[in-house]
Structure 1
């Protein structure tokens, strides 16, 4: 009869071990998804700043607005680390300031050389919003899993860095994306 208890204990230990392995593997997949979503967000931010830079250097805007947009786009492309969020937020503010006039934007869209640039910029702005939301959703999910007792007590997250959401102003100009 003792062997039945030992067998049940072994099955129980095996089940708990599998459950912990599954949790650690799930957490590892979430960390990988965070890295991929962050890379996608960084790529979209670079595309948006590149599109803004291309529009600013296309000689369609007046010199003051062009200079404002060139400066903001250049700073956003060069920013890294903690400065990234503020530089990208500044680019969003500059885009809203430069492209605020709906009538002028409609005239620029009608031009064959500028219309595709504006369309590319509008698409980039939408993709930045989506990429940031997706990244932040994955981070929130991983934080929820990491906050569970079994993950904290058994240190299933290992030495993974603290998870941070990306909080930046990514609201595009209303006139640009209002289609």
Structure 2
């Protein structure tokens, strides 16, 4: 090959590297923004769940009993106070456990509050799924050999998965009359889809 051909080949390779680097950096920035938005959505639902649990414990002690009310109030306060990711997971798991263990019959508790709490539980599960999906995609791209060699985003810490048990329980623990009907479930899924659309944009 002539020197000119070698120069053209080198220029082509360099151009490909520049294009790949620019494309990868753009995707990493978008994924980072997606993780941030997903976490904000998840945090909002977790805070709402803690607030509803706190409201239930504060305003309806007779329906819960002293022991259950105390544990539920403590779980809600712990979830609100936790900041570190590991501590937050433990606190949210503790609150989720208390919510799943609520008696099936809660006389005197408004149906609206019970339905709101059940819907929030569903949205927590959806938001956590969207967040962990964003974390997975980010870690996968940053874990590729070429990305590591190029040192792309190496100064930004890897996002962590948020692992909690967000099951609703075998029986919704909210009483037979307050289980979500088909229309309510469609509404919850629609709310999750709205979140998904915002996160994907």
TM-score interval (norm. to shorter)? 0.7 to 0.9
1:65 Cα deviation (Å)?
A: 1.8
Q: 2:91 corresponds to which residue?
A: 87
How far apart are the structure 2 equivalents of 1:12 and 1:152?
Answer: 19
Q: 2:33 corresponds to which residue?
A: 32
Find out whether 1:152 has 2:130 as its counterpart: no
Unaligned runs of 5+ in 1: none
Q: 1:41 corresponds to which residue?
A: 42
Q: 1:16 corresponds to which residue?
A: 17
Find out whether 1:167 has 2:163 as its counterpart: yes
Unaligned runs of 5+ in 2: 181-201
4-13 vs 82-91, which deviates more? 4-13
Match 1:96 to one of 92, 97, 100? 100
Runs of 4+ aligned residues of structure 1 deviating over 6 Å after TM superposition are none
Find out whether 1:114 has 2:110 as its counterpart: yes
Q: Tell me how large the CA RMSD over aligned residues is.
A: 2.0
1:151 Cα deviation (Å)?
A: 0.3
1:17 Cα deviation (Å)?
A: 0.6
How far apart are the structure 2 equivalents of 1:41 and 1:158?
Answer: 25
1:55 Cα deviation (Å)?
A: 1.4
The alignment's TM-score, normalised by the length of structure 1, stands at: 0.86
Q: 1:85 to 1:37 in 2, by over 3 A?
A: same
Q: 2:64 corresponds to which residue?
A: 61
Tell me the secondary structure at the aligned position of residue 75 of structure 1: helix
Q: 2:183 corresponds to which residue?
A: none
Q: How many residues were matched structurally?
A: 171
